[in-house]
């Protein structure tokens, strides 16, 4: 006989609010999912009791929607993994979901570090097989034109790099691979993916006792690197 779970009133209220705004991404929002997210983010304890005297419903809704969106990217990424090598459309989906999912957040876990690295590597290998023109279709260049003012990349510098590479030439070449290309690509999602990947590389290096490669690079350039402990 199926057990009926009685969720606390706060979960019931949030669930009702989610349904008033419609289903998320066309999928029903389950109370069990809302309960799990609220516990994970410290809104309530395991018994459903609020952990704060004042809980902002809008903040909870934003958090839940953000987590549900991340779950959509994660599910899409893993669905595409097995068939990406044989279908161009699936390769594009793998790149889209992979960058969205892996770039959304990274939490260090030594037990999952190798798996995380392999996931990033899979996306980068997929990007190696497409052209700059195709990448533009998946992740359009951000319309930011003031890079010269801040001495940073922008729409123009990205287009210059792409033209120099060749718009219809495969990104992965003997001269360089996807990571080098993405470094110069002006798109917020792509930049977050690159930043998260650098964090993974740093953690892997430190786990092997080789220190932080980012710190080593700055020190080699004569730049002093301060740590949080230096300010405490």
pLDDT per position as a tens digit, 78-131 = 777 665 445 666 889 899 999 999 998 777 788 888 888 999 999 999 999 999
The pTM of the whole model exceeds 0.75: no
Q: What percent of the chain has pLDDT over 90?
A: 32
More confident: 195 or 215? 195
For the chain, the structural domain boundaries read 1-72, 82-231
Q: How far is CA 72 from CA 66, 97, 130, in A?
A: 10, 8, 24
């Amino acid at each position: 006989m199926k057990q009926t779970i009685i969720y606390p009133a706060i979960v019931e209220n949030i669930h009702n609010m989610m349904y008033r705004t419609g289903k998320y991404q066309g999928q029903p929002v389950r109370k069990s999912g809302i309960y799990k997210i609220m516990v994970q983010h410290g809104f309530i304890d395991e018994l459903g009791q609020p952990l704060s005297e004042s809980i902002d419903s809008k903040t909870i809704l934003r958090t839940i929607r953000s987590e549900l969106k991340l779950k959509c990217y994660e599910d899409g990424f893993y669905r595409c993994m097995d068939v990406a090598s044989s279908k161009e459309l699936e390769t594009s989906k793998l790149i889209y979901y992979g960058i969205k999912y892996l770039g959304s957040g990274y939490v260090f876990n030594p037990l999952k570090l190798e798996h995380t690295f392999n996931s990033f590597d899979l996306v980068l290998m997929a990007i190696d097989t497409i052209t700059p023109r195709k990448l533009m279709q998946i992740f359009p260049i951000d319309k930011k034109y003031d890079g010269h003012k801040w001495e940073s990349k922008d729409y123009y510098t990205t287009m210059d790099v792409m033209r120099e590479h060749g718009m219809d030439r495969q990104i992965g070449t003997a001269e360089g691979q996807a990571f080098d290309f993405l470094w110069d690509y002006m798109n917020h999602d792509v930049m977050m993916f690159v930043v998260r990947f650098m964090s993974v590389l740093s953690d892997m290096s430190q786990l092997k006792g080789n220190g932080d490669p980012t710190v080593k690079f700055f020190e080699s350039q004569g730049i002093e690197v301060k740590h949080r402990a230096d300010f405490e």
